[in-house]
Structure 1
Amino acid sequence: MSDENWKEICAKKRQSLFDSIPKEWVIPHLSIQKHSNVMNVPASSGILSQKQLDITEESDVDVILEKLRTAEWTSVEVTTAFYKRAVVAHQTVNCLTEIFVDKALKRAKELDDMLSRTGKVVGPLHGLPISLKDQFTMKGLETVMGHAGWIGEEAEEDCALVTILYECGAVPFTRTNVPQTLMWGETHNNVFGRSLNPYNRSLTPGGSSGGEGALVAMKGSPLGVGTDIGGSLRIPSAFCGLYTLRPSYSRLPYYGAANALMGQESISSVLGPMANSLSSVLTFTKAIISARPWRYDPLAIRKAWSEEEWDLSEHGGVGSQLCFAIMWDNGVVKPHPPLIRAMTMVKKALEHAGHRVVDWEPHRHLEIYKNAETIFVADGGHDYLTECAKSGEPLITTMVPSEEEDIAEGYEYHAPTPYVKMLVGEPKHHEAYELWRLHEEKLRLRKSHLDHWARTADKTGTGRPVDAIISPAVAYTAVPHGLNTDSFYTTLCNALDYATSTFPVTFVDPHVDVPVEPHDFYNHEDESIYRLYKTDIFTGCPVGLQLIGKTLEEEAVLRMTSIVDGALKKWKLEIKD
């Protein structure tokens, strides 16, 4: 396919997306400054009625589900309200890839009719609109996944997750933007373009679930589903002020979803929910696991939701004193001042609530990261190049905006060579035997880290090892497009397969989060990240952290996150008083 052909096909797809927006939902006069916060645009757009604003401002999915169950709100009302808000969000931050209003509203009407006729809900997610990252295939719809060569290919069946969502009574209602190849911590491709951060459009919402992060942050969806192989749930959640869960491999059903690096199973991609409340994350996770996903996904682990683990059976039980470890830095890159303040806030809040807090000693992080990144490129880049070759589009090698995008005026772009290239070098094809040795090395590193964690029992004072680790998800908050190079903190958990959550803590305050004096840099990446911090760039950005548990303890991770989140909120109120 010629250069002009793939560009023309992409342009037609973008136009088709715009044409799928109901005309009365198009904002007539959208005047937005380049660096502006657009979180208030839905309320000021004139597109949503007051009731629709009230519906979409509700952050707790449980509240929405109760109103749907009692028919105080209909699914058609709720789906229409969130669809309008999603479309408004898209016009400000470019977050959607598929808009199918009629299909979603038909589904919502069927659910309303069933409730009216039987008096019973269809399932635990009855009537709830849920947005999906542009990987989750839906029968009859395209799954472009950021590749020009995928345009026009309609799915012949639903993926396992969508099948289960229908069983649970949900209304899948829109799909969201991803980066080309998925393997980026930002969101940009040649088909749909770049997704922007609603807190500051000159900053990235993260990736690869960046479209989802931007949409949910603007409350254009009550709950979204993304994926994570190196931080793709946690990075956008941290950048956009959201809660999420990165479960262990195959705890939630991935079968049938489109993906990059298909067949690479040493470090598996996982799916997880993204929401504005932790209770929403819990409700989704419990609903999907309770639907017995192993019926549809041959890799899904046959493990029912455990109330015993939710009650922290391996952590002394609910009400016991817990011991958390803070990873102030990982020995590879030091976090920016807002992240240090966030960890300090959490430490004070937990101690105020009666829990113990110790420092975490990083263990072989650079070796773990190098091993993981080498596995990711063990095909020598063949997968990426093959998918681009289908259309002739170029492989995107930088997320720095082009001059044509005109979204980052005033910022200087001196993107460093990502440190991973210094560690791994250019992608090189590995023979099967070489790949097996990498898998063997990963297993040894996982065992070494497990033993290291077990040894912390000597300093917790609880008789148990550290219950969970709290660390940055990323060393900084949302950054200018093209400058997100840090995935050291997140990839650690993917390589070790630790269940991990992300939760918001605060916002950047330029009067408090002042730059600090240079430290002894670990490497050139650490130095570049240090020099990136300028208070005028990051003012008002959400600051999020991650809570790291052990493999397959999703229930305990969610419970411990609720303990941390509750302690933090209570401490903030008491400090304010």
Structure 2
Amino acid sequence: MSQRWQDLVADKRRRQQESIPREWLIPIPPDTVLDVTAVPEQCGLLTAREVGITNTVDIGVLLHKLATAEWSAVEVTTAFYKRAIVAHQLVNCLTEIFVERALARAKELDEHLRTTGKVVGPLHGLPISLKDQLCMEGLETTMGYVSWIGKYADKNAVLVDILYECGAVPFVRTNVPQTLMWPETYNLIFGRTVNPANRSLTCGGSSGGEGALIHLKGSPLGVGSDIGGSIRIPALFNGLYSLRPSYGRMPYEGAVNSMYGQDSIPSVLGPLSNSLSGVKTFVQAVLNQSPWNKDPLCVRKKWDDEAYALSEHGGGKQLCFAILWNDGIVVPHPPIIRALEMTRDALLAAGHKVIDWKPIRYLELGNAISAIWKAGAAEDYQVTTASTGEPVISTMSILEGVGEPDSSVRPDPAGISAYALWQIQKARADLRKEYLDHWQKTAEVTGTGRPVDAIISPGAPFVATPHGRNNYTNYTKVLNALDYPAATFPVTKVNLDLDAKKPAHQFLSETDEATYNWYEPTLFQNAPVALQIIGRTLEDEAVIAMAEIVDAALKAKAKAAL
């Protein structure tokens, strides 16, 4: 061990700090200021034009202005870079910062448009942030491991190459938890990322840096990964739109990961954005580049316009949504229940049908995915950290004794035999078949002649939690076990008057009782409240379309209430 791991961390932090232009540093509000969402616009660093650019959340509008040269790629990249650096100072969301490289790319795109009159691709000039997992040639990808400091990529991940081909400007990389297998974001190199709406709360994980950055509009579109909720949890906790795609829709080749080689529950890459147009544009652009020609695990399936038009769902005219009120294990906190009720009412007002969804086998599905992860996780973490001797993080808590790590993602030191793993994988396959049959049978009760079109579900039983308290991920991870695509959508914010603690119900489990007991609305001041919409395997385009329908219904209902 040539260098202490602490020395490697000190050097990496120094280099990161030196990569920030000094003129972009701002006075930081004291820790007592919990909500920092207004700071980027009020700090004085961004010009009025740059504020206007970064507040343009509709990706379609942003791309149109770039394509018509109303805004140059250089000024758009500069605006988002400045806002990203402000965000980083407020919530600690970035890892790799490479201003000159990104601006040089933007300048090339502007020159191409000026000389040819044509855009480079469908994402021309769009700054895109990347989770610290997606390798970029010449940059370190530590993924929160001290042991990976100094490992420079000799080529881009396939998705990064595709983004370049589409005309995008990758411009920052974002923070993650050590190992990635946490629903919060903290590691020994870069420290903790916090929630911009309330810095006493978590931003989620493992794509937590993405969630916090986009929450502050420091990036118009980001890429995260999801093996048990790691795109959706940060999106939910930050009030964002996102998509957990089906296995193999997005290219993963060349990205680093924990437990690489575990392919029973593949991790998937997907988008986070402040608009659904960002989610759709990203997926459409990537799929139309034929990623299966660069990644052997990609499904050979281009963007499907028929699926997006909901050809198998009555053309979207009258859909039947099913609402999962709880998973049979943990009843959600009042803000989540209120969001479900708001969504139900909005869909009914828009002329759609709504029925209740009966959860089946959530405990067994959750246990199966956890057992598959744990089979080799301890050895994986041990091998990865051995070169420096850095400790493997065992809790996300700030205070001693507050909260417990999510046991479903912590490794089992003993491991299991290959045969025992096969039995778990077989049981999981049987559960997928049982769930498919359950879904098909709903055609008897929808009144549309079709099975339920999509499920509306909590993504967690709570909104963003105090640090160390996000210890239940079953609402997201069962969908990874089933391989169901899911999109998130924001609904509201915590309201201290409307979200008072309810009288105790008949508890479904010890976890349910514990979750009920620690709910106190003032803990969650200002936290976003969001939900997920779920479709069936490889129905990614239909899920995006149905998310647009739900989002439009919520916005119409809110407008009518004014």
Q: Could you give the per-residue CA deviations for residues 428-452 of structure 1, whole angstroms, max 9, x where no partner exists?
A: 3122222111111111010000001
Measure, in 2, the Cα distance between the counterparts of 1:218 and 1:18: 20
1:33: Cα distance to partner?
3.0
Aligned to 1:408: none
Moved more, 559-568 or 530-539: 530-539
Q: Does 1:560 align with 2:546?
A: yes
Does the 8 Å contact 2:375/2:412 carry over to 1?
no
Does the 8 Å contact 2:181/2:206 carry over to 1?
yes
Measure, in 2, the Cα distance between the counterparts of 1:105 and 1:208: 28
Amino acid of the residue matched to residue 158 of structure 1? N
Does the 8 Å contact 1:380/1:428 carry over to 2?
no
What is the aligned length? Answer: 562
Q: Could you give the per-residue CA deviations for residues 491-521 of structure 1, whole angstroms, max 9, x where no partner exists?
A: 0100000011000000000001110111222
Q: Does 1:18 align with 2:14?
A: no
1:426: Cα distance to partner?
3.9
Corresponding residue to 1:173 among 168, 171, 174: 171
Aligned to 1:252: 250
Amino acid of the residue matched to residue 322 of structure 1? L
Does the 8 Å contact 2:208/2:234 carry over to 1?
yes
* Aligned alpha-carbon RMSD (Å): 1.4
Aligned to 2:186: 188
Aligned to 2:107: 109
Q: Does 1:487 align with 2:473?
A: yes
Aligned to 1:356: 353
Residues 438 and 256 of structure 1: CA distance in aligned 2, closer, same or farther (over 3 Å) = same
Aligned to 2:371: 374
Does the 8 Å contact 1:419/1:525 carry over to 2?
no
Aligned to 1:445: 431
1:415: Cα distance to partner?
1.6
Q: What SS does structure 2 have at the residue aligned with 1:456?
A: helix
Moved more, 248-257 or 428-437: 428-437
Q: Could you give the per-residue CA deviations for residues 506-553 of structure 1, whole angstroms, max 9, x where no partner exists?
A: 000000111011122222211121122111111211000000100000
Moved more, 375-384 or 186-195: 375-384
Residues 192 and 523 of structure 1: CA distance in aligned 2, closer, same or farther (over 3 Å) = same
Amino acid of the residue matched to residue 15 of structure 1? R
1:381: Cα distance to partner?
1.0
Amino acid of the residue matched to residue 20 of structure 1? S
Aligned to 1:155: 153
1:427: Cα distance to partner?
4.3
Aligned to 1:9: 8
Q: Does 1:415 align with 2:403?
A: yes
* 1:139-538 alignment, distance < 5 Å: 139-318=137-316, 320-379=317-376, 381-401=378-398, 414-416=402-404, 418=406, 420=408, 426-538=412-524
Amino acid of the residue matched to residue 559 of structure 1? A
Measure, in 2, the Cα distance between the counterparts of 1:454 and 1:461: 13
Measure, in 2, the Cα distance between the counterparts of 1:426 and 1:304: 39
Measure, in 2, the Cα distance between the counterparts of 1:149 and 1:459: 55
Does the 8 Å contact 1:203/1:478 carry over to 2?
yes
Measure, in 2, the Cα distance between the counterparts of 1:417 and 1:563: 36
1:32: Cα distance to partner?
2.4
Does the 8 Å contact 2:130/2:172 carry over to 1?
yes
TM-score by length of 1: 0.96
Q: Could you give the per-residue CA deviations for residues 19-52 of structure 1, whole angstroms, max 9, x where no partner exists?
A: 100010011x223233510001111212111111
Q: What SS does structure 1 have at the residue aligned with 2:224?
A: strand
Q: What SS does structure 2 have at the residue aligned with 1:145?
A: coil
Moved more, 222-231 or 534-543: 534-543
Aligned to 2:534: 548
Measure, in 2, the Cα distance between the counterparts of 1:425 and 1:208: 16
Q: Could you give the per-residue CA deviations for residues 402-461 of structure 1, whole angstroms, max 9, x where no partner exists?
A: 58xxxxxxxxx532474649xx99443122222111111111010000001111111101
Does the 8 Å contact 2:457/2:533 carry over to 1?
yes
Aligned to 1:410: none
Measure, in 2, the Cα distance between the counterparts of 1:426 and 1:69: 52
Aligned to 2:130: 132
Q: Could you give the per-residue CA deviations for residues 78-137 of structure 1, whole angstroms, max 9, x where no partner exists?
A: 000000000000001000000000000000000000000000000000011000000000
1:480: Cα distance to partner?
0.5
Q: Could you give the per-residue CA deviations for residues 47-86 of structure 1, whole angstroms, max 9, x where no partner exists?
A: 1111111110110111111001000000000000000000
Aligned to 1:95: 93
Amino acid of the residue matched to residue 4 of structure 2? N
1:138: Cα distance to partner?
0.3
Does the 8 Å contact 2:374/2:411 carry over to 1?
no
Q: Could you give the per-residue CA deviations for residues 290-323 of structure 1, whole angstroms, max 9, x where no partner exists?
A: 11111111101000111111111111113x2110
Amino acid of the residue matched to residue 7 of structure 2? E
Measure, in 2, the Cα distance between the counterparts of 1:228 and 1:338: 24
Amino acid of the residue matched to residue 223 of structure 1? L
Measure, in 1, the Cα distance between the counterparts of 2:380 and 2:509: 30
Measure, in 2, the Cα distance between the counterparts of 1:171 and 1:10: 28
Measure, in 1, the Cα distance between the counterparts of 2:344 and 2:283: 27
Residues 51 and 486 of structure 1: CA distance in aligned 2, closer, same or farther (over 3 Å) = same
Aligned to 1:409: none
Measure, in 2, the Cα distance between the counterparts of 1:374 and 1:343: 31
Amino acid of the residue matched to residue 34 of structure 1? T
Q: What SS does structure 2 have at the residue aligned with 1:494?
A: helix
Measure, in 2, the Cα distance between the counterparts of 1:539 and 1:514: 12
Q: What SS does structure 1 have at the residue aligned with 2:299?
A: coil
Does the 8 Å contact 2:87/2:93 carry over to 1?
yes
Measure, in 2, the Cα distance between the counterparts of 1:174 and 1:250: 25
Measure, in 2, the Cα distance between the counterparts of 1:532 and 1:490: 21
Amino acid of the residue matched to residue 573 of structure 1? K
Q: What SS does structure 2 have at the residue aligned with 1:227?
A: strand
Measure, in 2, the Cα distance between the counterparts of 1:43 and 1:572: 26
Measure, in 1, the Cα distance between the counterparts of 2:103 and 2:411: 50
TM-score by length of 2: 0.98
Measure, in 2, the Cα distance between the counterparts of 1:464 and 1:428: 46
Q: What SS does structure 2 have at the residue aligned with 1:369?
A: helix
Measure, in 1, the Cα distance between the counterparts of 2:185 and 2:46: 27
Measure, in 2, the Cα distance between the counterparts of 1:520 and 1:444: 31
Measure, in 2, the Cα distance between the counterparts of 1:419 and 1:458: 38
Does the 8 Å contact 1:178/1:208 carry over to 2?
yes
1:15: Cα distance to partner?
1.3
Aligned to 2:74: 76
Q: What SS does structure 1 have at the residue aligned with 2:242?
A: strand
Residues 128 and 192 of structure 1: CA distance in aligned 2, closer, same or farther (over 3 Å) = same
